[in-house]
Structure 1
Amino acid sequence: MFICFPASVASDPSQNLTGIWETFQNCTFVDLTHTFEPGIPHWKGAPDETVETLYSYKPGNGTLGSGFYMQDYSHVGQWGTHVDPPAHFIEGLRTLDQISPREMILPLVVIDIHQKVMENPDYVVSMDDIRTWEKEYGPIPQGSFVALRTDWSKKWPDQDAMQNLDAEGIAHYPGWSQDVLTYLYENCNITASGHETTDTDPGLVVSSDKYPLETYILSQNKYQVELLTNLDQVPESGALVVVTFPKPRDGSGFPARVFAICPE
């Protein structure tokens, strides 16, 4: 059955979204997600992923020939590019299944500090960096997703390079800062944030097994995404980000598929 809409309805995006879909066909889609597998960089307290083939097209190597392909995956929720819901750190706040789909398609803001990180791997984003962005593009949009571009993802999948330990075992990698996060979440009311490193906090802090900045974000009842990639391929302003992930009941974290939709 075909339903014909009046021209006035068809041209109204609040009643017909086909035009938006057609617009997207002329956009550039950028995958911001690492492919995950056993052995990828991960938090030191997490076990490695295991993958077992249960059924294969033909029998062999201990598998049952079934005419289809099925694997069993075992990994922690915080694996690869992943989403951290508030409940990951804060008891009683939202779990993955309580995050609304409305929070998964957002304006994308990219704060680029990669040149400063090249000069100093311990660099943390500053309010001067935020002011520079706002001078160029205007106020950080309310409800947006703010991603911190450091180009640290270019070290993937080398765990040693990602951690960048010195002779004393202290990690040296960039991160967020409290004043910037406070501004973004409390003044700009952003929906979520993300970064390319394994942690929200810089390596110098994480080396002491402390996570104050991650605790802060999640205490705002907002989510974050860790281990993003390809932020060098998206504009600092004007794109959309789509953050998708499964919906496990009471989920404390899960691998995410994140991509940007960018103007042509």
Structure 2
Amino acid sequence: MCNACVIESVKETMMSRRKLFMGAAATGAAAIAASAISARPAMAEASGKVIDLTYVFDEAFPTFDGVPGIAYEEAVNFDKAGYQLWKITFYEHSGTHIDAPLHFSKDGTSVAELAPETLVCPLCVIDITAKARDDANAALEAEDVEAWIKQNGDIPKGACVAMNSGWGAKVGSPEFRNTPDGKFAFPGFGKSATDLLAQMEVAAIASDTLSLDPGNSADFAVHKSWLPSGHYGIENLANVDQLPAKGATIFVGAPKHARGTGGPARILALV
């Protein structure tokens, strides 16, 4: 066979492969588009507004043990190298973050192992601000869940149920964490509520305070029951007061480090 014939044959083969790859890419894009379209009914109530439910995480953000949750060390200097880079050290359970089942169980699901479908959820918000005004350690109980259902309808399976205690207004003050005499004081979930939500097959709970349990909890009953049962939690959720009681969708940008008991997360809501 002549060289020219070989060249032409190679060209034809390459063009055929290129068309094949382009066709496969188009098919994949179409499949993704179809998937997105099919997902629209689940978010039909959304107007398209995105609310950031994540606090800026820095050395001053309050933590449960009072120790700064993050530290920065310069790894590359811009003036010397033309680009810059930080080495960051942080505690998993600081800032707006996730509690994975592994946090309170020896061999539970790590944050890296959370099923992706549990990280995009219908969002239900239960308001206990009136209760929290009278009691800094107020708990969201089963009766609050039942009152929400009576007013708003059933809580969907796979939902994330968030507590709005109004505590976000205190985040810049010592009162977000404790009383003037140093005692923990902030609202949280009661076990009666989380037991009921587990029966409803809710995927996650979220608090707008430092913990899933109230500040005066002596036994961490919610941590010890909710997390080992395979569910996850979110702590320090921001801007909860901007959310509707129902109709929003939450997107949980969970970290994915091996053996993680949790970690800081970027969390958004589409309303």
- Structure 2-normalised TM-score? 0.82
Query: Which residue of the partner structure matches residue 257 of structure 2?
Result: 248
Query: Which residue of the partner structure matches residue 269 of structure 2?
Result: 260
1:132 partnered with 2:147 = yes
Residues 25 and 204 of structure 1: is their aligned pair in 2 closer, same or farther, counting only changes over 3 Å?
A: closer
Asked whether the equivalents of residues 53 and 238 of structure 2 are also in contact (C-alpha less than 8 Å), the reply is yes
Q: Work out which of the two has the higher radius of gyration on C-alpha atoms and give 1 or 2.
A: 2
Q: How many angstroms apart in 2 are the aligned matches of 1:237 and 1:13?
A: 27
Q: How many angstroms apart in 2 are the aligned matches of 1:25 and 1:136?
A: 20
Query: Which residue of the partner structure matches residue 151 of structure 1?
Result: 166
Matched ranges for 1:35-46 at <5 A: 35-44=56-65, 46=67
Return the offset for 1:128: 2.6
1:197 partnered with 2:209 = yes
Query: Which residue of the partner structure matches residue 176 of structure 1?
Result: 189
Which SS does the other structure have where 1:249 is aligned? coil
Return the offset for 1:101: 1.2
Query: Which residue of the partner structure matches residue 163 of structure 1?
Result: 177
Which SS does the other structure have where 2:132 is aligned? helix
Q: How many angstroms apart in 1 are the aligned matches of 2:251 and 2:267?
A: 6
Q: How many angstroms apart in 1 are the aligned matches of 2:231 and 2:197?
A: 12
Q: How many angstroms apart in 1 are the aligned matches of 2:226 and 2:84?
A: 40
Query: Which residue of the partner structure matches residue 141 of structure 1?
Result: 156
Q: How many angstroms apart in 2 are the aligned matches of 1:195 and 1:104?
A: 16
Residues 122 and 49 of structure 1: is their aligned pair in 2 closer, same or farther, counting only changes over 3 Å?
A: same
Query: Which residue of the partner structure matches residue 215 of structure 1?
Result: 224
Query: Which residue of the partner structure matches residue 235 of structure 2?
Result: 226
Q: How many angstroms apart in 2 are the aligned matches of 1:35 and 1:243?
A: 16
Deviations 1:1-35 (A, max 9, x none): 47778xxxx7x999342586898995110000000
Residues 122 and 246 of structure 1: is their aligned pair in 2 closer, same or farther, counting only changes over 3 Å?
A: closer
Query: Which residue of the partner structure matches residue 91 of structure 2?
Result: 76
Q: Unpaired runs of 5+ in structure 1?
A: 59-64
In structure 2, what residue type is equivalent to 1:236? Answer: A
1:122 partnered with 2:137 = yes
More helix by share: 2
Residues 250 and 57 of structure 1: is their aligned pair in 2 closer, same or farther, counting only changes over 3 Å?
A: same
2:110 corresponds to which of 92, 95, 104: 95
Asked whether the equivalents of residues 69 and 95 of structure 2 are also in contact (C-alpha less than 8 Å), the reply is no
Q: How many angstroms apart in 2 are the aligned matches of 1:36 and 1:70?
A: 17
Residues 231 and 20 of structure 1: is their aligned pair in 2 closer, same or farther, counting only changes over 3 Å?
A: same
Deviations 1:22-53 (A, max 9, x none): 98995110000000011210011755421122
Residues 70 and 25 of structure 1: is their aligned pair in 2 closer, same or farther, counting only changes over 3 Å?
A: farther
Deviations 1:81-119 (A, max 9, x none): 001110011011101111121111000000011122122
Asked whether the equivalents of residues 108 and 230 of structure 2 are also in contact (C-alpha less than 8 Å), the reply is yes
In structure 1, what residue type is equivalent to 2:175? Answer: A
Q: How many angstroms apart in 2 are the aligned matches of 1:27 and 1:252?
A: 32
In structure 2, what residue type is equivalent to 1:126? Answer: E
Q: How many angstroms apart in 2 are the aligned matches of 1:156 and 1:166?
A: 15
Asked whether the equivalents of residues 24 and 261 of structure 1 are also in contact (C-alpha less than 8 Å), the reply is no
Q: How many angstroms apart in 2 are the aligned matches of 1:25 and 1:144?
A: 16
% of aligned pairs identical?
27
Q: How many angstroms apart in 1 are the aligned matches of 2:195 and 2:67?
A: 29
Residues 13 and 109 of structure 1: is their aligned pair in 2 closer, same or farther, counting only changes over 3 Å?
A: farther
Q: CA RMSD in A?
A: 2.5
